[in-house]
Structure 1
Amino acid sequence: MKQKNSLKSIVYQETLDGIIRGEYKANQIINEQELVEKFGFSKAPIREALLSLCNEGVLHNIPRYGYEVVRLTSEDAAFILRYRFHLEGGFLKDCYQRISEEQLDELAQLDDLCNETSDDLWVHWEHNTHFHLKLLSCAGNEYACQELQRSMDILKRAYAQVYWNRWNNLYNPMDMRYHKQILSCIRQKNISEALHYLELDLKDFGCM
């Protein structure tokens, strides 16, 4: 059973990574036999991995045909970004007075990573994700953090589909330029300005 779960995890992650890399395009059909040949595994772990991706909204099962890569649009990204503002902003409003200097220092260190030079746009993506997850975690609500991670995972697929060519050639991590202002406002206990810069931060995120 442990080996079967391990094989399932490999197929799951490789297929998801293939969607992010653009190996599998939106609306493309993936079938089990194709993956059996690719990985050399039996059908059972491959089917389980594909069904897991269906349950997460990554694929759509078309009986007797295959698994379609779900298309995400710029409108989908905009809806999720608005949700993120209410999620992150709402919890920040509740907890900003309790955020410690130690937590702010940790956030500043994560922001430094966000601004490091890298040719890999997904390295910037992961640093940015860690910054926002850390900021939200200051509220002490694990469920909220899980929802933010889920939102970031969907956004990652949406941006890979909608903006891949643009990012691949012109990427500049402008979506992280307001982190310092957010932290500065939290230090000053100025929640209205902190929320203002958070909204600008997410708007930048949606315009890349």
Structure 2
Amino acid sequence: MQLTEDVNFTTEKKELLSEKIHDEILELIIKNASEEEQVLNEKRLVELFGVSKAPVREALIKLCSEGVLRNVPRYGYVVVKMKEKDARDILKLRCILELEALKDGFDAIVQYHLEDIKRHIDNAALMQQEPVDVWKVWEDNEAFHLLLASYADNQLLNKFLKESLSIQKRIYAQFSWNKKQSMDDQLDKEPHVGIYQALCDKDLEKAQELLRRDISSVL
């Protein structure tokens, strides 16, 4: 039993480090965005972050899966340029997925899950008292939208939504950096409170409209 616990603990630490490196690489890409081709080298990243190859490699693989990087053998990891159309397309996709999920899950939400949604909003309110960065804000936003969509009980829809949010993470961070030249951010719970209140009032149409506005406010 002790061995199993140690293995799980080690795996958890490894995953957390990989996630941290993932966000740091993404931040590096965002802060150095230019018209020129950006190429990342695994060995240099290992030296830069002072870690072993494993978490860097895992982070690079994840960034490739998210469409942020493209692996070119014997050359490096090329940064895939994000176009404005890509950002608009992700917003459209999210609207389709989330509005459908809200409609399908509406009855279950108003009967059984309003307290879960309120709990998430209350926890986010506590975070407002602390300095936060763009990653924390996006993490809270992502968790709220995935929670809301989960009540539709549609695994495929949730899979596509999670992938869309992973892609949009870069878009949101880039937008924030371009606007303020800072990765500091501020959590705004009011859009989520409005959606929650509409759900409490059992007003699906209003909840969908507020959800649409919240999704579109990212850009």
**Structure 1 residue 178 and structure 2 residue 188: aligned?**
no
Separation in 2 of the partners of 1:155 and 1:20? 12
Count of equivalent residues: 201
Kept in 2, the 8 Å contact 1:95–1:139? The answer is: yes
**Structure 1 residue 16 and structure 2 residue 22: aligned?**
yes
Structure 1-normalised TM-score?
0.77
Structure 2-normalised TM-score?
0.74
Identity of aligned residues (%): 35
Paired AA for residue 120 in structure 2 = L
**Structure 1 residue 32 and structure 2 residue 46: aligned?**
no
Structure 1 residues 166, 46: closer, same or farther in 2, change over 3 A?
closer
Gap runs ≥5 in structure 1: none
The residue aligned with 1:125 is 138
Question: Residue 218 of structure 2 aligns to a residue in which SS?
Answer: helix
Separation in 1 of the partners of 2:27 and 2:55? 22
Separation in 2 of the partners of 1:152 and 1:111? 19
Displacement of 1:188 in angstroms is: 2.7
Question: Residue 139 of structure 1 aligns to a residue in which SS?
Answer: coil
The residue aligned with 1:114 is 124
Separation in 2 of the partners of 1:198 and 1:98? 17
Question: Residue 22 of structure 2 aligns to a residue in which SS?
Answer: helix
Kept in 1, the 8 Å contact 2:39–2:78? The answer is: yes
Give the ranges of 4+ consecutive aligned residues of structure 1 lying more than 6 Å apart after TM superposition: none
Separation in 1 of the partners of 2:46 and 2:184? 37
Paired AA for residue 183 in structure 1 = Y
Gap runs ≥5 in structure 2: 1-6
Displacement of 1:197 in angstroms is: 0.9
Kept in 2, the 8 Å contact 1:177–1:201? The answer is: no
**Structure 1 residue 159 and structure 2 residue 172: aligned?**
yes
Q: What whole-Å deviation, never above 9, does each CA across 1:78-120 have from its counterpart, x for those lacking one?
A: 2212211110101111221222454111101212233341321
Kept in 2, the 8 Å contact 1:32–1:66? The answer is: yes
